[in-house]
């Protein structure tokens, strides 16, 4: 079982739909990242969370530390939101911090 699991693996939506991507993890963490990867491979950090909820434009991220679960929501989705969304947890180890990544959710938003 992976330490970080995302669902769904693939998601197709119509423009304007509300989208939710889920992330569950099984290890103790100091923070959780939501990342966006575009077809060229480059990655942009959308959010870093250690508790509660953050909002940036049409994107909302929440985390429940007790339940070890986070969600990324996209309101009023748009075709330009099409990308791979990756959940990554940051663990503090004696050798330094370490990111563990989920396998990503491929989102396609159709016009």
- Residues forming contacts to other proteins in the complex (CB under 8 A) are 30-31, 33, 35, 37, 40-45, 48, 50, 86, 88, 90, 95-99, 101-104
Is the CB of 31 or the CB of 60 nearer to other proteins? 31
Angle at 9 between CA 36 and CA 111, to 5 degrees: 65
CB 111 → other proteins: shortest distance, Å? Answer: 26
CB 72 → other proteins: shortest distance, Å? Answer: 16
Which one, of 84, 102, 101, 107, lies nearest residue 36 by Cα? 84
Residues 6+ apart with CB under 8 A from 26: 1, 3, 4, 68
CB 48 → other proteins: shortest distance, Å? Answer: 6
* Integer Cα distance of 100 and 111 in angstroms: 33
Is the CB of 39 or the CB of 111 nearer to other proteins? 39
DSSP label at residue 39: T
Is 20 in contact with 37 (CB distance < 8 Å)?
A: no
CB 43 → other proteins: shortest distance, Å? Answer: 4
Is the CB of 80 or the CB of 111 nearer to other proteins? 80
């Amino acid at each position: 079982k992976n330490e970080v699991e995302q669902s769904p693996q693939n998601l197709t939506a119509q423009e304007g739909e509300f989208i939710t991507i889920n992330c569950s993890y099984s290890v103790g963490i100091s923070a959780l990242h939501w990342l966006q990867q575009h077809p060229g491979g480059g990655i942009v950090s959308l959010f870093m969370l250690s508790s509660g909820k953050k909002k940036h434009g049409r994107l909302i991220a929440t985390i429940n530390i007790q339940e070890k679960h986070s969600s990324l929501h996209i309101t009023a989705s748009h075709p330009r939101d099409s990308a791979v969304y990756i959940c990554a947890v940051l663990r503090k180890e004696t050798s330094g911090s370490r990111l563990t990544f989920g396998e990503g959710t491929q989102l396609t938003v159709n016009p």
